[in-house]
Structure 1
Amino acid sequence: MRLSIKQWIQVVVSLAVAIWIFWFLYKDVKMESLLEALQQASLFWICMSIWISVLGFGLRSWRWKLLIDADLAEKLPTSRAFWGLMIGYLVNMLVPRAGEVARCGVLKKTDKLPVSKLLGTVILERSVDLLFMIGVIFLAFVLEREVFVGLAEDLISLDAIKTGFKEYMPLLVGGVALLVIVFYWVTSRYRDHGLVKKFHHFMRELIGGLKSVQRMKNRLGFWSASVGIWVIYFLMMYFIAMAMPSTANLSPSSVLMVMVMGSIGMVAPVQGGIGTFHALVAFILMTYGLTEEEGKIFAIIVHSSQVLIVLVAGVISLLVVAKISVTTKPQAGHLRNN
């Protein structure tokens, strides 16, 4: 993957921010405390967390494969989707959000599938994840309402939100309307230009990928996998909580709240949620009576276990993909003729 100078600057800046946040959080945490916590932790529960996480990546790969299969004459092997997915996660640790494009590029290389259509399936997949994340946040609000309301009052000023909404809404609406008008004018005036034609083709492929859920045969499997992915996210964190004496007594609803905060931290545009994940998880654990150091140690153990999986599986996936020849029988590379 080639990056422009501007993109490299963005990568360096985001990485520097992530490292600074991480350093600021952990500069006062002694290595002896971390090692002691690891010695006291249950290896069984940590291994269970890692195992269930790998299962989650496999389930996510299978769900993505179901979307891709909607437009293929022959089904894509789940292993191919898994290699692409793990390479994507590996790329995300260097360039935030670039992994979504990278995993599509992997399947273009191995199975000759169009990147634009694959991007449509990825966007659809992420949109579904966003809906489930909103649902999980709502569930956490119902189960941990007092904690949730307390956090909202401390971090969010409703009066400031209302004032900003009234002040900037006309500007936002006007800006969107202007962009729509300019876009329509450019595409109408230069409709026969090669670049515009390529853009139209890309958008058709993208929209086709987004609509793949309508053509998918195994819709029950897709939605069941979507639920299962979030259940696995919860179990992954719950098993780590069970492993450590400081968090072993947390209730399932408390761990759910921790998972919500961690998920929000992972959305931040920094490599692998470094720093933001740790900060939010440590912060919410302090509201449940843990010390600041205990919260930070829990966060780094959870995050490190995920990073370890991505590094190992990502490197293995790179090696496997490097050996796959695109000249072999492209089973999944033939699009279904509609």
Structure 2
Amino acid sequence: MPKALKNVLKFLAFLSIGLLMIWLALKDMTPKDYADVKDAFLSGNYWLVVPAFIIGIGSHLSRALRWRILIDTQHYKPGVLNTFFAVMVGYLVNMGVPRLGEIARCGVLANYEKIPADKLIGTMIAERALDLVCLAIVFLLCFLLQLDIVSAYLSAEVWPALEQKIANANVTQLLVLLGIVLVVIGVVIYLLKRFAASKAAIKLRALLRGVMDGFLSIGKMDGRKLGWFLFHTLMIWAQYLAMLYVGFLCLPATQELGLTAALTVLALGSVAMIVSPGGIGVYPFLVQKTLLLYNVAGPIGMAFGWIIWGAQTVLICILGLVSFIWLPIHNKKSAGKS
């Protein structure tokens, strides 16, 4: 299958998820709900978008600086501006096809800094894997800091549904499910052995080695670099959290929400950004459902989700386009000075 067609199909698949979430959010809304959403939008203090933008730029800069530290362990020293521009171009591409932007930013930096692309891909994958670890920590903090809310939700929504499913399942159904699981495990083991020498398997092993090298490079950092690396990791997530907290202040109905609520929105919002282009549809939907836990009415939660998603999207589009345009200009000037 041609690569371009594959990317188009991938985009359409992810976009369909976002459109499905939009439909699910809108299908049961009444005229009063639409009026409440409109009132929520009109009640917003949009001047607070300015500090949110500044915090957002800071988070993207911290990401670029952290990636630059990781690249430095491979004995390459890319420029700060080129690294930042590459990160923003990657974010912009991700708005179209999730995960393709990660390859794009490596390609951009490899082109302008003359760094082998495989070295950059290894560090990029290690960096994103570290972000998954950070996201898991965010989920754990959400659970530990809000045991009362989590336990109430599980008692009211999750456990009754599970108990009903188990009660309705007979022995035959359970045995069939167990058989399917065993068959899937057997097929996976067979495929791993059968195609161990294939080109795809060789590439996968090389990719995993690159990831491992990226992680091992963290351990090779001296104390000062490791300190800055961990500092920027903390700053990335702290600034994400701060953006959401400032966002709460935009609407009268969410002004009383605290950092724990922002932490929960951050966790689920991060998942939304993975499963659809730029989180379209999914991000507002998950934010709306999350804020219901904090007694925020559905229409208000929907309005808040779209405001935050819109602010993040506008920021990425502006910075991504500026970076795309300014990259050749900046590097032409740099070449002229050398």
Q: Which residue of 1 aligns with 2:190?
A: 178
The number of aligned residues is 319
Q: Cα 1:83–1:26, aligned 2, differ >3 Å: closer, same or farther? A: farther
2:242 corresponds, among 235, 238, 251, to: 235
Residue in 1 that maps onto 2:229: 222
Question: Aligned partners of 1:200, 1:285: CA distance in 2, in Å?
Answer: 42
Q: Which residue of 1 aligns with 2:218?
A: 213
1:321 maps to what in 2?
327
In 2, the alpha carbon distance for the partners of 1:78 and 1:263 equals 26
Structure 1 match to 2:70 = 67
Shift of 1:133: 1.0
- Identify which range, 93-102 or 259-268, moves more after superposition: 259-268
Q: Match for 1:6: what amino acid?
A: K
- Report if aligned partners of 2:107, 2:117 keep a CA contact under 8 Å in 1: yes
Which residue of 1 is the match for residue 105 of structure 2? Answer: 103
Query: How far apart in 1 are the matches of 2:221 and 2:177?
Result: 40
* TM-aligned CA deviation for residue 87 of structure 1: 0.5
Q: Deviations over 1:132-160 (max 9, x none)?
A: 11111111111111322344452476677
* Cα displacement (A) at 1:57: 0.5
Q: Which residue of 247, 252, 265 corresponds with 1:258?
A: 265
- Deviations along 1:312-337, whole A, 9 cap, x unmatched? 000011012233558976xxxxxxxx
Measured in 2, the distance between the counterparts of 1:131 and 1:229 equals 13
User: Contact 1:84/1:103 (CA < 8 Å) preserved in 2?
Assistant: yes
Give yes or no for contact 1:53–1:233 (8 Å, CA) kept in 2.
yes
| Equivalent in the alignment of 1:303 | 309
Q: Which residue of 2 aligns with 1:332?
A: none
- Paired position in structure 1 for 2:45: 42
Residue 245 of structure 1 pairs with residue 252 of structure 2: yes
Matches within 5 A, 1:1-338: 3-26=3-26, 28=29, 36-73=39-76, 75-153=77-155, 154-155=157-158, 166-186=178-198, 207-217=212-222, 218-268=225-275, 270-323=276-329
Q: Distance in 2 between matches of 1:196 and 1:291?
A: 50
Structure 2 regions of 5+ residues with no counterpart? 167-173
Question: Which stretch shows the higher mean deviation, 254-263 or 196-205?
Answer: 196-205
Check the 8 A contact 2:37/2:299 in 1, yes or no.
Answer: no
Displacement of 1:230 = 1.1
> Hey, what's the Cα distance between the residues in 1 that align with 2:131 and 2:179?
32
Matched-pair identity in %: 27
- C-alpha distance in 2, partners of 1:50/1:324? 23
AA aligned opposite 2:68: K
Q: What letter corresponds to residue 17 of structure 2 in structure 1?
A: V
1:191-219 deviations in Å (ceiling 9; x for gaps): xxxx9988877665554344322333311
- Write out per-residue CA displacement over residues 9-32 of structure 1, whole angstroms, 9 at most, x where no aligned residue: 231232233234225424748887
Corresponding residue SS for 1:184: coil
Answer whether contact 1:43 1:243 (CA < 8 A) is retained: yes
Change (3 A) 1:18 1:252: same
Maintained 8 Å contact 1:26/1:296: no
> Alpha-carbon deviations, 1:145-202, whole Å to 9, x = none?
13223444524766779x6985554334323322331233447xxxxxxx99888776
Tell me: CA distance 1:148–1:264, structure 2 relative to 1, closer, same or farther (3 Å). farther
Q: 5+ unaligned residues in a row in structure 1: which ranges?
A: 188-194, 330-338
- Whole-angstrom distance in 2 between the partners of 1:324 and 1:128: 30
Which is worse superposed, 126-135 or 150-159?
Answer: 150-159
Does the 8 Å CA contact 2:273/2:283 hold for their aligned counterparts? yes
Counterpart of 2:112, as a letter, is: T
> How far has the Cα of 1:113 moved from its partner?
1.4
Q: CA 1:283–1:198 in structure 2 vs 1: closer, same or farther (change >3 Å)?
A: closer
Q: 1:13 to 1:264 in 2, by over 3 A?
A: closer
Are the counterparts in 1 of residues 93 and 100 from structure 2 also a CA contact under 8 Å?
A: yes
Separation (CA, whole Å) in 2 of partners of 1:33 and 1:91: 34
| CA–CA separation in structure 1 for the residues paired with 2:204 and 2:178 | 36
Deviates more, 1:239-248 or 1:31-40: 31-40
Deviates more, 1:53-62 or 1:219-228: 219-228
Bigger shift: 95-104 or 8-17?
8-17
Q: 1:117–1:207: 8 Å Cα contact kept in structure 2?
A: no
Alpha-carbon distance between aligned partners in 2 of 1:120 and 1:158, rounded to the nearest angstrom: 41
Question: Is the Cα contact below 8 Å between 1:144 and 1:254 reproduced in 2?
Answer: no
So what's the TM-score if we normalise by structure 2? 0.83
Distance 2:280 2:258 in 1: 26
* Stretch deviating more after TM superposition (41-50 or 117-126): 41-50
Question: What is the TM-score with the length of structure 1 in the denominator?
Answer: 0.83
